[in-house]
């Protein structure tokens, strides 16, 4: 019998549609359950995402308020627009200053006395010119390749010494003009000539371009603009700068002058700026509260809740925020300002939102600035003026901790072999030596040559070179070295750095240096780190910083800088973790990599993965079920077809016999 190619041919009942209906009926309960679980998990993920965003928004304003400097905003005004003032709130204080600018800084300008008929063809002479600007010196060579006014100008510009050259067409000839790149007398230009004509000061050849005190009358450059410093009196005290910018001449204040004149500068606390920062925190908190209400609120009238109503994560967040923002800040129990309520920040009992009285806050900020700062910011209050709070750790608990120093921090220091005479001669035999600072910075020194140099002038020359930008390795690293003389007039070199990494060594000297300066290749005495205890716990030392590890009791992570060389008890430090820092830490505990929300969302993502796996398993099971039904239906359909064929055959046979039966 031929096989059945399609379901239902044999029976007319067991069709593909019936298989589809049975398969759909089998799939529906599990499919609906998985779909519902997927929708619930995705809705929860979306809700947690909105909650995470609102919590994160709270972190920025509280992070700003957790730094004490952001609660010390100051503004400054000047009565003269030609005397501008800028303020650094982290350093400034209230005050009023009377300013009188009597001189502006200017850059020196020179012009050649000789006028040349042509800039490219007329010879200017050959030899060498030595240009000096401030502490920079450069020698340029003028020969047949650049023996012209333009060639000389190009050579000066290429020297990079700090002076610019140009050529002016006067209408009757060409003049060379020079201008110092920077203002101030310290950047005045000096030019000496080594003229091939044998006379360096006669105003002929290259000596026409010299400018120094040795020049003969009428020779050399003319000074068209003298180098001057900016001079200003501040409350009657004269202050001089090489430029028209007076930076940090008063703590936190910098001045920029464009003209002479007088001005009154007033510095006042900008309480409005601080109040705006607090208002920003209040606004972000209320936005968070609104988000929580929409996600986890309960409508008592309708008797229905929201998606996260009763959620343990939300309840924990609300409880911990309430504890941080409504309680007394530990360490401020006896202060004039102890909680947010004391500065005009209260909670609406009906909505949970914060209400902010700006006027009350500004009054408290003016009257109790230190307490208001401690209310918000992380702060360490030391009883010893030479002990400074550096930072805390995540595990540092608010409290009072005694500081005890058993070993003071010291600086690396090198002392010369022998004393320096009252006057010395510095020449080619003893003008160079090399220092190694803090083990990794090499400083090459070339002293100013001269006869009968006093030892005080020698020290000043060495210090000036160490402080200048010539030794880029030292200045770029931010390190410093102090030069002096001990009681035996031996040269001393002291690193500005404290601790075990602080050192000074002499790594090379010229032959005559030992006789003149009392120096030889030698290593000095290394510095040592501070040692002591904080809150009774043995602390580690790094330079002048005394600190505890992350698991050293209540003061874990606390760091203090101890100045001076006094050992023994150094008072105590009262650490206050303000609401700003506490809130930031709380936010991080929820939205950080290991936070509660991260844990919850990770769990939901794993749930979605399991649902997806269940969906795949369901598809496999249903496909197997379909195949089983098709096989069963096909077999039944085949049997029915066979039975139908048999029926038809029997019917035919019976019909064939019927006439015979009738004839009988």
User: What would the pLDDT profile of 537-587 be if each residue is shown by its tens digit?
Assistant: 999 999 999 999 988 999 999 999 999 999 999 999 999 888 988 888 888
Q: Is pLDDT of 453 > 50?
A: yes
pLDDT bucket at 1, cuts 50 / 70 / 90: very low
Comparing 629 with 152, the larger pLDDT belongs to: 152
Q: Per mean pLDDT, which range of 238-252, 480-494, 593-607 is the poorest?
A: 593-607
CA separation for the pair 180, 203 (Å, rounded): 22
Query: Distance of CA 518 to CAs 56, 195, 452, 491, 513, Å?
Result: 64, 38, 16, 7, 7
pLDDT at 22: 82
Q: What is the DSSP letter of 521?
A: S
Round to whole Å and give the CA distance between 243 and 254. 12
φ/ψ region of 289 (left if φ > 0, alpha if ψ in -120 to 50, else beta) reads alpha
Residue 4 binned pLDDT confidence (cut-offs 50, 70, 90): very low
Give the C-alpha separation, 148 to 143, whole Å. Answer: 9
Reference 317, options 602, 590, 56, 603; nearest CA is 590
The per-residue pLDDT for range 76-105, each reduced to its tens digit, is 899 999 999 998 877 778 889 999 999 999
The Cβ-side half-sphere exposure at 20, using a 13 Å CA radius, reads: 4
Q: What is the pTM of this model?
A: 0.61
> Average model confidence (pLDDT) for the chain?
86
Q: Which residue has the higher pLDDT, 657 or 123?
A: 123
664 falls in which pLDDT band (50, 70, 90)?
low
286 alpha carbon, distance to own chain's centre: 30
User: What's the CATH number of domain 411-523, 1.10.760, 3.30.420, 2.60.40, 3.40.50?
Assistant: 2.60.40
Q: Taking residues 138-160, report their average pLDDT.
A: 92
- Please give the Cα distance from 261 to 98 (Å, whole number): 11
| Pairing assessment for the beta strands 537-542 and 545-547 based on DSSP bridges | antiparallel
At residue 304, does pLDDT exceed 70? Answer: no
pLDDT digit string (tens) for 210-227?
887 555 445 578 889 999
Three-class SS state of 237: strand
pLDDT at residue 5 tops 60? no
- Report pLDDT for 584: 87
Residue 11 — very low, low, confident or very high, per pLDDT cuts 50/70/90? low
Which 3-state string (H, E, C) describes 197-214?
CCCCCCCCHHHHHCECCC
Q: How far separated are the first and last CA of the chain, in Å rounded?
A: 36
Domain ranges of the chain: 16-62+596-663, 74-105+230-269, 109-225, 272-378, 381-408+530-577, 411-523
Residue bearing the bigger pLDDT, 635 or 545: 545
Distances (CA, A) of 635 to 13, 526, 631: 13, 97, 6
Closest among 530, 508, 346 to 436, alpha carbons compared: 508
629 within 8 A of 23, measured Cβ to Cβ: yes
pLDDT value of residue 611: 87
Local confidence band at 183 (pLDDT 50, 70, 90 cut-offs): very high
Is the model's pLDDT at 589 over the cut of 50?
Answer: yes
């Amino acid at each position: 019998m031929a096989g059945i190619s399609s379901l239902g041919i044999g029976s007319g009942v067991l069709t593909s549609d019936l298989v589809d209906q049975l398969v759909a009926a089998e799939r529906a309960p599990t499919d609906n359950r998985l779909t519902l679980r997927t929708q619930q998990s995705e809705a929860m993920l979306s809700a947690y995402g909105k909650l995470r965003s609102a919590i994160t928004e709270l972190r920025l304003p509280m992070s700003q308020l957790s730094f004490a400097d952001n609660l010390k905003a100051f503004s400054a005004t000047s009565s003269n627009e030609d005397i501008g003032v800028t303020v650094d709130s982290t350093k400034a204080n209230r005050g009023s200053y009377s300013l009188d600018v009597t001189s502006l800084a200017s850059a020196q300008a020179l012009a050649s006395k000789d006028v040349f008929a042509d800039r490219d063809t007329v010879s200017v002479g050959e030899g060498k010119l030595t240009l000096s600007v401030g502490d920079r010196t450069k020698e340029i060579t003028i020969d047949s390749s650049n023996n012209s006014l333009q060639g000389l100008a190009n050579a000066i510009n290429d020297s990079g010494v700090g002076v610019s050259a140009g050529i002016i067409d006067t209408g009757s000839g060409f003049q060379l003009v020079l201008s110092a790149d920077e203002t101030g007398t310290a950047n005045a230009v000096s030019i000496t000539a080594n003229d091939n004509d044998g006379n360096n000061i006669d105003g002929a050849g290259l000596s026409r371009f010299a400018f120094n005190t040795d020049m003969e009358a009428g020779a050399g450059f003319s000074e068209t603009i003298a180098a001057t410093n900016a001079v200003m009196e501040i409350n009657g005290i004269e202050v001089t700068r090489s430029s028209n910018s007076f930076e940090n001449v008063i703590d936190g204040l910098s001045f920029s002058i464009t003209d002479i004149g007088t001005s009154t500068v007033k510095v006042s606390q900008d309480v409005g700026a601080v109040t705006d920062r607090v208002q920003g925190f209040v606004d972000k908190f209320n936005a968070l509260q609104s988000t929580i209400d929409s996600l986890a609120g309960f409508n008592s009238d309708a008797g229905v809740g929201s998606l996260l109503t009763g959620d343990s994560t939300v309840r924990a967040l609300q409880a911990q925020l309430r504890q941080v923002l409504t309680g007394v800040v530990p360490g401020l129990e006896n202060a004039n300002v102890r909680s947010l309520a004391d500065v005009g920040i209260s909670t609406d009992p009906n909505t949970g939102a914060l209400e902010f009285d700006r006027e009350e806050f500004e009054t408290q900020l003016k009257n109790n600035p230190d307490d208001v700062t401690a209310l918000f910011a992380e702060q360490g209050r030391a009883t010893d003026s030479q002990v400074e709070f550096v930072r805390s750790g995540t595990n540092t608990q608010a409290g009072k901790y005694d500081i005890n120093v058993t070993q003071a921090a010291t600086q690396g220091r090198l002392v010369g072999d022998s004393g320096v005479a009252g006057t010395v001669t510095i020449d080619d035999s003893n003008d160079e030596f090399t220092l190694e600072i803090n083990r990794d910075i090499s400083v090459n020194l070339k002293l100013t040559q001269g006869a009968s140099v006093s030892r005080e002038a020698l020290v000043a020359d060495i210090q000036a070179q160490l402080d200048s930008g010539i030794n880029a390795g030292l200045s770029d690293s931010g390190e410093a070295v102090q030069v002096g003389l001990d009681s035996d007039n031996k040269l001393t070199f002291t690193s500005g750095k404290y601790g075990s990494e602080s050192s000074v060594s002499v790594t090379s000297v010229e032959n005559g240096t030992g006789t003149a300066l009392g120096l030889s290749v030698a290593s000095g005495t290394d510095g040592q780190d501070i040692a002591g205890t904080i809150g009774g716990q043995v602390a580690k030392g790094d330079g002048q910083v005394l600190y505890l590890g992350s698991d050293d009791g209540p003061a874990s992570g606390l760091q203090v800088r101890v100045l001076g060389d006094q050992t023994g008890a150094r008072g105590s430090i009262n650490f206050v973790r303000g609401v700003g820092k506490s809130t930031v830490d709380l936010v991080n505990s929820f939205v950080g990599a290991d936070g509660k929300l991260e844990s919850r969302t990770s769990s939901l993502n794993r749930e979605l993965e399991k649902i997806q796996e269940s969906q795949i398993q369901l598809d496999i099971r249903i496909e197997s079920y379909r195949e089983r039904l098709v096989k069963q239906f096909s077999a039944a359909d085949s049997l029915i077809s066979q039975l139908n064929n048999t029926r038809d055959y029997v019917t035919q046979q019976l019909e064939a016999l019927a006439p015979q039966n009738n004839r009988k």
